[in-house]
Amino acid sequence: MNITTDSLEFIADNLANQDYAIVDHFLSLEEVNAILEVFALHQDNDKFKRAGIGKDENLQYDRSIRGDYIKWIDPQNAMPPVKLFLSKIDELKDYLNRTCFLGIKDYETHFTIYPPGSFYKRHLDQFQNDGARKISFICYLNKNWQSGDGGELRLYLGDEVKDVAPTAGKLACFRSEIIEHEVLLSKKDRFSLTGWMLNHPVGLGFVV
């Protein structure tokens, strides 16, 4: 299913006015279930890797900062349910370029699992000396998530915070260079697709 024009407008307006947007039903339950099956296949067949902090020679692994496991998605070889998700992100990217003039050229996405007890401390999604990430987006895949399960995305908005429960089908997106955020301790396995819209094509890395 395509994203509705209402959702596209809602996301663009909210990004323009408050630097973040949350949409509850970006994916249908069927679409979530199909992506979870792909997750299960990848968990069986290939290992997810511990996520690092920083990039290239600054890459570090530190459980006291971030405890998730990731697997990067190769869009060409992605399974159909993942391709469908990426096509929605493509649609969103084109819409944001038309309406918000963000100059997004590409995006990169990974599968993400936060095992019980893991979190990601407060941070900005920008590497030092690299402003390539323009919009961060996270789509959550957790059915029957209860308030005591933790794992909220906490957005820091000036003097306030906003906590977002990682419930199935929801998309959270925000301006990567502006919104500090964290993932609160999750008590259960927490599944999501995480990505960034970039101001250069994937693979080129840092370009001046």
Ligand X SMILES: O=C(O)CCC(=O)C(=O)O
Residues contributing to the site for ligand X (CB under 6 A): 120, 125, 138, 153, 181, 183, 192, 194
d(C-alpha 63, C-alpha 32), whole Å: 28
Q: SS3 string of 138-185?
A: EEECECCCCHHHECCEEEEECCEEEEECCECCCEEEEECCCCEEEECC
Q: Closest distance between Fe ion and the C-beta of residue 53, in Å?
A: 10
Picking from 140, 161, 159, the residue whose alpha carbon sits closest to that of residue 151 is 140
| Residue 33 CB, nearest approach to Fe ion (Å) | 26
Binding mask 115-134 for Fe ion (x = CB under 5 A): ----------x---------
* Shortest separation between residue 168's beta carbon and ligand X, angstroms: 14
Task: Indicate the Cα dihedral angle 12, 2, 104, 83, nearest 10°.
Answer: 140
Tell me the backbone φ, ψ of residue 112, rounded to 5 degrees.
Answer: -135, 135
Tell me whether residue 91 or residue 108 sits nearer to ligand X (CB atom): 108
What is the spatial distance between Cα 62 and Cα 169, in angstroms, rounded to a whole number? 29
Of 94 and 115, CB closest to ligand X = 115
Nearer to Fe ion, 72 or 94 (CB): 72
What is the Cα–Cα distance from 50 to 170, expressed in whole angstroms? 24
Q: Is 182 in the site for Fe ion (CB under 5 A)?
A: no
By C-beta, is 23 or 155 nearer to Fe ion?
Answer: 155
Closer to ligand X by CB, 7 or 192: give it: 192
Partner touching 109 among ligand X, Fe ion, none, CB below 5 to 8 Å by kind: none
Residue ranges in 88-117 that form contacts with Fe ion under rule CB under 5 A: none
Query: By the criterion CB under 5 A, which residues form the site for Fe ion?
Result: 125
